[in-house]
Amino acid sequence: MAKLFGEVPGNPIGSTFASRAALSQARVHRPLIGGISGNGREGADSIVVSGGYIDDEDFGDELIYTGHGGNDPATKQQIADQELDAPGNAGLARSQLDGLPVRVIRGAAGNPAHSPSVGFRYDGLFRVTNHWSKPGRDGYRIWQFHLVQLDESETTTQSSELQPPPGTMGPVPRSTAVVQRQIRNSAVTEAVKRWHAYRCQVCGITLQVAAGPYAEGAHIRPLGRPHLGPDVPENVLCLCPNDHVRLDNGAIYLLDDFTIVDARTGGKLGVLHREYHHRIDRAFIQYHRELW
């Protein structure tokens, strides 16, 4: 069954459900057992936050959500490593890459400050901003996902046309989707891009668009929870969109001598281009490398 992204008609924020079966019947979260509804091909459309993993952190409008796998449901302890290619984990990573909204449902067993006293509650749409791996509290590798609640400035309602069922006539049905946008700009990233004349420090390409050269400022140690990377030139690279995505998602990383490494093959892709007045802090490089 295809994933349903965005709001589910008839189930506004704050809707409550007595059981997982009721959640599934309402299509708010379809799996009867799993905490993540998703896969690597389509993305993840919903998650349940219910205290199943001790490494979860719930800040209300922000979540540090632990992926699935390797957990003993009886003790809630991790007994094996998690893998990013497990369906739910891959689904959340795909939702980050494609900008897909994720419905967040909280269960009574979660953080008491933000969870319902009984049953389950739909708490709105969130976006996945980042993901990484680390040793969990029980000593096994886990994958974690940072989610932030969408607000009205980040969402618009958009209709999309669908093909009618085979053998039928009439108007084309429409579906409603939620599209997100994130705008980040600062004097720091602009300065770094100007220092490099908008040339990607990884591949050396200067991307030209109608308005002139284009590049993106990429933070080596990510901003926000739980990484708390600073918005300073020592933590910013000038990258093309392709290499920005690759860096943020662990496809490439840097050695301390600024060698660029392909994470999938271990091959060395060259050396990061650096301008003499752009000092890059190796501590941020080491932090990023440890995430992957």
- 239: which 2 tokens? 């990258």
Residue 169 domain-assigned (yes or no): no
Q: Which residues pair with 23 in a beta bridge?
A: none
- Same structural domain, 142 and 224: no
Residue 180 above 80 pLDDT? no
Cis geometry, peptide bond prior to residue 226 (ω within 30 degrees of 0)? yes
- Same structural domain, 143 and 253: no
- Same structural domain, 33 and 133: yes
- 208: which 2 tokens? 């030209």
pLDDT digits (tens, 9 = 90+) for 239-259: 999 999 999 989 999 999 999
What is the CB neighbour count within 10 angstroms for residue 123? 21
Burial tier of 73 (Cβ tally within 10 Å: 0-12, 13-18, 19+): exposed
Residue 119 above 60 pLDDT? yes
Average pLDDT taken over every residue of the chain: 86
Helix (H) or strand (E) holding 67: none
Determine the pLDDT at residue 167. Answer: 53
- Same structural domain, 62 and 136: yes
Query: 3-state class of 268 per DSSP?
Result: strand
- Same structural domain, 145 and 201: no
Q: Cα–Cα distance between 87 and 36 in angstroms, integer?
A: 9
Confidence of residue 172 (pLDDT cuts 50, 70, 90): very low
N-terminal to C-terminal alpha carbon distance within the chain: 32
Domain that holds residue 276: 187-291
- Same structural domain, 275 and 148: no
Residue 278 domain-assigned (yes or no): yes
Tracing tokens 């220092």 back to the chain, one arrives at: 195
List all residues 6 or more positions away from 203 whose beta carbon is below 8 Å from its beta carbon: 240, 242, 243
Residue 125 above 50 pLDDT? yes
Determine the pLDDT at residue 286. Answer: 96
- Same structural domain, 146 and 196: no
- Same structural domain, 200 and 125: no
- Same structural domain, 257 and 207: yes
Helix (H) or strand (E) holding 90: helix 87-98
- Same structural domain, 150 and 214: no
Q: Cα–Cα distance between 10 and 70 in angstroms, integer?
A: 35
Residue 150 domain-assigned (yes or no): yes
Residue 178 domain-assigned (yes or no): no
Residue 51 domain-assigned (yes or no): yes
Residue 206 domain-assigned (yes or no): yes
Determine the pLDDT at residue 182. Answer: 41
The candidate with the shortest Cα–Cα distance to 35, out of 80, 78, 93, 87, is 87
Sign of the CA dihedral running 55, 142, 106, 93: positive
Q: How many domains does the chain have?
A: 2
Q: Cα–Cα distance between 18 and 57 in angstroms, integer?
A: 24
Q: Cα–Cα distance between 241 and 243 in angstroms, integer?
A: 6
| CATH code: domain of residue 115 | 2.30.280.10
Q: Which residues pair with 252 in a beta bridge?
A: 262
Residue 176 domain-assigned (yes or no): no
pLDDT digits (tens, 9 = 90+) for 3-25: 889 999 999 999 999 999 999 99
- Same structural domain, 192 and 150: no
- Same structural domain, 139 and 201: no
